[in-house]
Structure 1
Amino acid sequence: MHDGSDSDTPPVEAVMMRKRRKGIYILPNLFTLAALFGGFYAVVMAMNSRFDMAAIGVFFAMVLDSLDGRVARMTNTQSAFGEQMDSLSDMVSFGAAPALIAYEWGLKGLGRWGWIAAFVYCACAALRLARFNVNTSVVDKRYFQGLPSPAAAALVTGFIWIMTDLGIPGPSVAWPMFALALYAGLTMVTNVPFYSFKDVHMKKSVPFGVIVLIALGIAVINIHPPTVLFSLFVIYGLSGYVVYGWRRAKGIQTSVISTSTDEPDERGLHK
Structure 2
Amino acid sequence: MSERPEEPNQAYDAESMLPIDEHVEEGHDAEGRKVRHRGIYLLPNLFTTANLFAGFYSIINSMSAQSALAAGDAASASKYFGFAAIAIFVAMVLDGLDGRVARMTNTQSAFGAEYDSLSDMVAFGVAPALLAFAWALGDMGKVGWMVAFIYVAGAALRLARFNTQVGTADKRYFIGLASPAAAGVVAGIVWAFSDYGIQGSKMSFLVALMVAAAGMLMVSNIKYNSFKEFDLKGRVPFVAILVVVLMFAVVFSDPPRILLLAFLVYAASGPIQYLLHMRRDKTLS
- TM-score if structure 1 supplies the norm length? 0.84
Counterpart check, 1:32 vs 2:48? yes
> What is the rounded CA distance, in whole Å, between the counterparts of 2:172 and 2:279 in structure 1?
20
Q: Secondary structure at the match of 2:170?
A: coil
**Paired residue type of 1:213:** V
Q: Tell me if 1:215 matches 2:245.
A: yes
Partner of 1:119: helix, strand, or coil?
helix
How far 1:137 sits from its partner (Å)? 2.3
Match of 2:110 in 1: 80
Equivalent position to 1:22, from 35, 38, 61: 38
CA distance in 2, matches of 1:72, 1:244: 33
Count the aligned residue pairs. 235
Per-residue deviation, 1:245:
2.1
Match of 2:206 in 1: 176
User: For the residues of structure 2 that align with 1:21 and 1:174, how far apart are their CA atoms?
Assistant: 51
2:265 pairs with 1:251 = no
The alignment yields a C-alpha RMSD, in angstroms, of 1.4
Q: Could you tell me which of 98, 101, 105 is aligned with 2:135? A: 105
Instruction: Quote the offset at 1:244 in angstroms.
Output: 1.5
Name stretches of at least 5 consecutive residues in structure 2 with no aligned partner: 1-23, 25-34, 66-79
- SS at structure 2 position matched to 1:251: helix
In the alignment, the residues of structure 2 paired with residue 36 and residue 240 of structure 1 have an alpha-carbon distance, to the nearest angstrom, of 28
Query: Which residue number corresponds to residue 221 of structure 2?
Result: 191
Measure the CA separation in 1 of the matches of 2:107 and 2:196: 44
Return the letter of the residue paired with 2:252.
Answer: N
Q: Give the Å deviation of 1:179.
A: 0.4
1:1-271 residue pairs with structure 2 within 5 A?
20-49=36-65, 50-251=80-281
Q: Which amino acid aligns with 1:151?
A: A
Counterpart-to-counterpart distance in 2, 1:139 and 1:234: 25
Q: Distance in 2 between matches of 1:114 and 1:160?
A: 15
Q: Matched residues in 2 for 1:20 and 1:147: separation?
A: 36
Q: Deviation at 1:34?
A: 0.4
CA distance in 2, matches of 1:23, 1:242: 46
Aligned counterparts of 1:25 and 1:52: Cα–Cα separation in 2: 33
Quick one: percent identity of the two aligned structures?
Answer: 50
SS of equivalent to 1:138: coil
What CA deviation, in whole Å up to 9, does each residue of 1:79-134 have, x standing for no partner? 00000000000000000111111111110000010000000000010001001111
Q: TM-score, normalised by structure 2?
A: 0.80
Runs of 5+ consecutive residues of structure 1 not aligned to the other structure: 1-16, 253-271
